[in-house]
Structure 1
Amino acid sequence: MGVMQQQKEHQRVELTGIERLNLRVSNMINHPVAQIQRWVTIHRLDTDGEREWEEVMGLLSETDGIDMIFNDDESVTLKWEASTDEDRPVEVCESVEEAAPF
């Protein structure tokens, strides 16, 4: 193993608690099954700090179109409506130019 590779391994960047929680919640919301059913339940893990949990839940509560249900087991269920055609991203299709028939 070269010296450069060893240095890269020692320079791993650790995510903060808020970044880990944001990434986990984002992945759960964007999961294909959650997108089909339009709801997901987020469980608070032992590694989720109080401050991080409150900040992420606060951001979610401010997001338009998301309904939050706080469950008895300290989990949170998020529900949302299907987006309209106007809200969906536009797919760009490249046009194929055909040779003129003349």
Structure 2
Amino acid sequence: MAKSKPAVKHVVSGLERLGLRVSAMINHPIAQEQRWVTIHRLDSDGDMEWDEVMSLISETDGIEMTFNDDGSVTLRWEASSEDDPQVQEREEFTLMDEPAPF
């Protein structure tokens, strides 16, 4: 019987986790339709990681950053061109007046 190699577990760093969360928020269909998103800092987001991600975003052309009083950051952007694909509105993606759970 052949021995299988033990699975290598990749531990996601705080920077990677924050980057993935921010990327998912920016790429969400509603954010893409609205062309803005507000990112809330979680207790698990370290100072160094938060500052690094905010720095990377600030260096990105076409993104306007607004630092809010509650510590969140609102990102706004314009369409690159008229040929950009638009998200079709669907019932599943309706705006809610509830605050984000994070």
Alignment TM class, shorter chain as reference: 0.7 to 0.9
Higher RCO (C-alpha 8 Å, min separation 6): 2
Which portions of structure 1, spanning 4 or more consecutive aligned residues, are displaced by more than 2 angstroms?
A: none
Report the TM-score when normalising by structure 2: 0.74
Structure with the bigger percentage of helix: 1
* Separation of aligned partners in 2, 1:4 and 1:85: 53
* Separation of aligned partners in 2, 1:76 and 1:85: 27
1:66 to 63, 68, 82: 63
Asked whether 1:12 is paired with 2:6, we answer no
Asked whether 1:57 is paired with 2:54, we answer yes
Match of 1:93 in 2: none
- For residue 53 of structure 2, give the secondary structure of its aligned residue in structure 1: helix
Where structure 2 has 5 or more consecutive residues not aligned to the other structure, the ranges are 86-102
Where structure 1 has 5 or more consecutive residues not aligned to the other structure, the ranges are 90-102
* Separation of aligned partners in 1, 2:4 and 2:37: 43
* Separation of aligned partners in 2, 1:85 and 1:36: 13
Q: Which amino acid aligns with 1:46?
A: D
Q: Identity rate of aligned residues, in percent?
A: 64
Q: Which amino acid aligns with 1:61?
A: S
Q: Deviations over 1:47-70 (max 9, x none)?
A: 100000000000111110000000
Report how many residues are paired: 83
Report the TM-score when normalising by structure 1: 0.74
